[in-house]
């Protein structure tokens, strides 16, 4: 069953609306934005599921259903539009794979190890070419696979391109870049976290000042394993309207708190993926993590914490869109399970079951192509590569932030 995750918030948040102010202003009445769907019976059901956290045995006997987070509409969501962008993307993907396989990551045959995969790359390509941002900021660069693709996707208009990473390696940003003069690096010795950069005085040597209009036409791309909600609230504070989050893990899973986790405003899915993270079905307190799992905060079993995060998404975001996979997820989270089960690195269930795989699939949009075979025919990408890539899909998300 697929449904949006926020439609019960108007009912569930009413008791807590005055407790939190995510705008950094004095506390006051916050009226939840009304949602199209209103189902009090569903709200009661979710509350019962949340209350089941106090007794793990009750969770075992219930069937929990996944859902797709969504809010608002984006211009690029039609299948026809996606298909129109696919040939150009595939050409760029093949070119990038050949270049990186020869020059940057020869041991990986051009596959981006530990980074952005095929399905996510297409969503980034699609978003870039649809909103045509004047400025692109990439936080988390690694070897530069995504940097190269961003430069290729934006060749027609050449936005200012800022890259941020504590390590400087991989693609130099100059080779095969039509707009290399618009590339600026805060990498390696020049690293400054995006939250600490003075964007109002950005790059005067380039005669570019981050004015209010430019901020509204700026896209941040985060692949840095930092708390997504903190990133969103920072962008809201400085007036940036667009962001992409690559590692958008299922609620209760991953190295950092995801926007999909925040979207699970009632803890409906989080309880299932997180509740059995310990040994012998020991109930483990949910955590909100940051800094690639370096800083984790245990949260009480109290629904107001789930609702606070859901409220932030409901109030601060105008739109939330998850990119669909190109093909069915035949091995959901297949490339990630080992990381999840190492609880020193990632949150998540210690034992991955078929039920977890089912929930990942149910929480995913329908693929662009109904089968691996059809996707292979349409893209020219071998079936075994598509199967591998289906295990790397983690619900990449685009958000449109409410700014003044």
Output the pLDDT for position 151. Answer: 96
Q: Nearest to residue 221, comparing CAs of 158, 344, 106, 128?
A: 128
pLDDT digits (tens, 9 = 90+) for 156-184: 999 999 999 999 988 888 888 889 888 88
pLDDT digits (tens, 9 = 90+) for 223-264: 999 999 999 999 998 889 999 999 999 988 988 999 998 888
**pLDDT above 70: residue 52:** no
Report the number of secondary-structure helices (H) and strands (E) in the chain. Answer: 15, 9
239: CB partners within 8 A, 6+ apart: 212, 215, 216, 403, 404
Span of 62-71, 167-176, 205-214 with lowest mean pLDDT = 205-214
CB 359 within 8 A of CB 66: yes
Nearest-angstrom CA–CA distance, 181 and 36: 46
Q: Nearest to residue 282, comparing CAs of 47, 51, 53, 50?
A: 53
The owner of tokens 């051009």 is: 110
**pLDDT above 80: residue 37:** no
Terminal C-alpha separation, the chain: 36
CB 130 within 8 A of CB 119: no
Output the pLDDT for position 292. Answer: 80
pTM of the full structure: 0.82
**pLDDT above 90: residue 7:** no
Mean pLDDT of the chain: 78
pLDDT digits (tens, 9 = 90+) for 114-173: 678 999 999 999 999 999 999 999 999 988 899 999 999 999 999 999 999 999 988 888
Nearest-angstrom CA–CA distance, 98 and 102: 6
């Amino acid at each position: 069953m697929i449904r949006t995750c926020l439609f019960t918030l108007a009912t569930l948040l009413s008791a807590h609306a005055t407790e939190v102010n995510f705008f950094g202003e004095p506390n006051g009445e916050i009226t939840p934005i009304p949602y199209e769907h209103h189902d009090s019976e569903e709200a009661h059901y979710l509350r019962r599921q949340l209350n089941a956290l106090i007794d793990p045995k009750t969770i075992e006997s219930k069937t929990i259903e996944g859902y797709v987070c969504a809010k608002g509409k984006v211009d690029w969501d039609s299948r026809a539009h996606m298909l129109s962008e696919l040939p150009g993307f595939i050409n760029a993907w093949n070119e990038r794979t050949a270049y990186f396989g020869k020059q940057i990551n020869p041991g990986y045959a051009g596959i981006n190890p530990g980074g952005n995969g095929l399905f996510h790359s297409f969503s980034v390509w699609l978003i870039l070419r649809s909103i045509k941002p004047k400025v692109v900021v990439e936080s988390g660069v690694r070897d530069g696979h995504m940097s190269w693709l961003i430069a290729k996707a934006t060749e027609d208009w050449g936005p200012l391109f800022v890259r941020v990473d504590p390590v400087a390696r991989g693609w130099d940003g100059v080779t095969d870049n039509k707009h290399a003069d618009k590339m600026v690096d805060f990498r390696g010795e020049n690293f400054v976290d995006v939250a600490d950069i003075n964007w109002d005085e950005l790059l005067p040597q380039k005669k570019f000042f981050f004015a209010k209009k430019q901020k509204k036409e700026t896209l941040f791309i985060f692949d840095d394993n930092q708390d997504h909600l903190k990133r969103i609230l920072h962008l809201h504070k400085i007036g940036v309207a667009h962001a992409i989050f690559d590692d958008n893990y299922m609620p209760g899973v991953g190295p950092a708190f995801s926007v999909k986790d925040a979207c699970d405003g009632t803890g409906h899915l989080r309880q299932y993926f997180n509740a059995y993270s310990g040994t012998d079905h020991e109930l483990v307190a949910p955590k909100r993590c940051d800094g690639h799992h370096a800083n984790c905060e245990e949260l009480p079993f109290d629904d107001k914490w789930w609702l606070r995060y859901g409220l932030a998404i409901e109030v601060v975001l105008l739109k939330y869109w998850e990119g669909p996979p190109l093909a069915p997820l035949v091995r959901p989270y297949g490339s990630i399970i080992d990381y999840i089960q190492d609880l020193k690195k990632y949150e998540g269930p210690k034992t991955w079951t078929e039920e977890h795989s089912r929930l990942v699939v149910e929480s995913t949009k329908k693929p662009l192509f109904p089968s691996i075979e059809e996707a292979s025919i349409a893209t020219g990408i071998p079936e075994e590569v598509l199967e591998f890539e289906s295990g790397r899909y983690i619900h990449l998300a685009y958000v449109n932030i409410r700014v003044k």
